[in-house]
């Protein structure tokens, strides 16, 4: 086990940021740490990294307590913050060299690592540009290079794809997969749940400072009430179609999408839901244009566990 967090409590006067939070990170995995805004993700990470003092609990990294003076442990850790943390007046290679130099003293080895990091994030054609001259996507890639150049065993990636275009996002996600394939253990936070579905071996969903559930994507899907979703779009819906759909056995929720007769039905159990819905359509003399079934997504799990209300 690379990271072990038990019953972590962090208070800011009367405000409880973490309330007996628990999380384990296994060697070689990509662990997704998900939660709404204000759920405590950043506080938890800062406590794990020794950047914040905490009130109670146990935190071990590589089997040891991480303290402010644990320099050898910190050499084994890489951090890619959500806010871009580079020097805008330095060139690409100078930025990477500076951050790598915080961990690697040997000049020849550091030079080798810097070039490998530049190649890894695809910045070969930009190595002599100042970071202020880079696009947002290129700057994000530079941010990653600065955090991983010293070849850490454990990497914390906090929202690394925020505000980048689709091409840059795909490049970054492919890079994260390569880091994992090369043996790195990764803790990954994101609000893009489809990224967590694609990348993560296990997922922790937290809210209000607590860990709600932990497991693989399939395990999380099995924890919620929704077992199947069926999407149907009618050509000839009537005014009370939604109410009638809600009366079908095992339907727990019906959502009307727009004004074009499209509905999403969420079922809580049953193995013949599609057949039952087709019988209903026949009995009601409805005509459908689209009809398909799908299993719940991570988004369904997230919303069912944390609620649908907006967060600041």
Q: Of 38, 49, 37, which Cα lies nearest the Cα of 15?
A: 38
Give residue 227's pLDDT. 87
- Rounded to whole angstroms, what are the CA distances from 115 to 96, 150, 168? 9, 11, 20
Residue 142 and residue 245 in one domain: no
Tell me the pLDDT of the chain (312 aa) as tens digits.
999 999 999 999 888 999 999 999 999 999 999 999 889 999 999 999 988 999 999 999 999 988 778 888 989 999 999 899 999 999 999 999 999 999 999 999 999 999 999 999 999 999 999 999 999 999 999 999 999 999 999 999 999 998 888 898 999 999 999 999 999 999 999 999 999 999 999 999 999 999 999 999 999 988 888 889 999 999 988 778 999 999 998 999 999 987 778 999 999 877 789 999 999 999 999 999 999 998 889 999 999 899 866 555
The pLDDT of residue 302 is: 93
Q: Based on the domain organization, do 185 and 239 belong to the same domain?
A: no
Taking the C-alpha atoms of residue 144 and residue 80, their distance in angstroms, rounded to an integer, is 6
* Contact predicate 225/268, CB 8 Å: yes
Name the phi and psi angles at 203, rounded to 5.
Answer: -135, 135
Q: Are residues 172 and 264 in the same domain?
A: no
Query: Which two three-digit tokens encode residue 24?
Result: 């384990």
The verdict on residue 273 lying in a domain is yes
Work out how many domains the chain is built from and give that number. Answer: 2
Alpha helices in 78-232 (DSSP H): 92-101, 107-120, 136-148, 166-181, 193-199, 217-221
| pLDDT in the model for residue 213 | 96
Domain that holds residue 232: 228-295
pLDDT at 308: 66
- pLDDT at position 165 is 87
State whether 148 and 10 are in the same domain.
yes
Cα–Cα distance for residue pair 44/5, rounded to 1 Å: 9
| Stated pTM of the model | 0.87
Query: What CATH number has the domain bearing residue 13?
Result: 3.40.50.300
Q: Are 59 and 21 in contact (CB under 8 A)?
A: no
Residue 312: the pLDDT is 57
């Amino acid at each position: 086990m690379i990271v072990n967090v038990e019953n972590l409590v962090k208070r800011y006067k009367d405000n409880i940021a973490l309330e007996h939070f628990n999380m384990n990170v296994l060697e070689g995995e990509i662990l997704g740490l998900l939660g709404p805004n204000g759920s405590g993700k950043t506080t938890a990470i800062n406590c794990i990294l020794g950047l914040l003092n905490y009130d109670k609990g146990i935190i071990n990294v590589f089997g040891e307590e991480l303290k402010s003076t644990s320099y050898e442990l910190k050499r084994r850790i890489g951090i890619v913050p959500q806010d871009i943390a580079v020097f805008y007046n330095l060139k690409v290679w100078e930025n990477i060299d500076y951050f790598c130099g915080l961990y690697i003293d040997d000049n020849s080895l550091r030079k080798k690592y810097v070039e490998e990091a530049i190649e890894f994030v695809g910045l070969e054609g930009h190595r002599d540009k100042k970071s202020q001259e880079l696009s947002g996507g290129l700057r994000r890639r530079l941010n990653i290079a600065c955090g991983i150049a010293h070849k850490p065993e454990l990497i914390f990636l906090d929202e690394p794809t925020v505000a980048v275009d689709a091409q840059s996002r795909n490049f970054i996600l492919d890079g994260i997969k390569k880091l994992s394939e090369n043996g790195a253990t990764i803790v990954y936070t994101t609000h893009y749940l489809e990224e967590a579905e694609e990348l993560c071996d296990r997922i922790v969903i937290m809210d209000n400072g607590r860990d709600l559930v932990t497991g693989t994507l399939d395990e999380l899907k099995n924890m919620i009430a929704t077992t199947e979703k069926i999407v149907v779009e009618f050509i000839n819906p009537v005014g009370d179609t939604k109410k009638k759909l809600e009366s079908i056995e095992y339907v727990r929720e019906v959502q009307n999408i727009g004004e074009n007769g499209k509905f999403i039905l969420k079922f809580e159990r049953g193995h013949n839901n599609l057949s039952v819905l087709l019988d209903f359509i026949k009995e009601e003399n409805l005509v459908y244009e689209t009809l398909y079934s799908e299993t719940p997504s991570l988004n369904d799990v997230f919303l069912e566990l944390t609620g649908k209300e907006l967060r600041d």
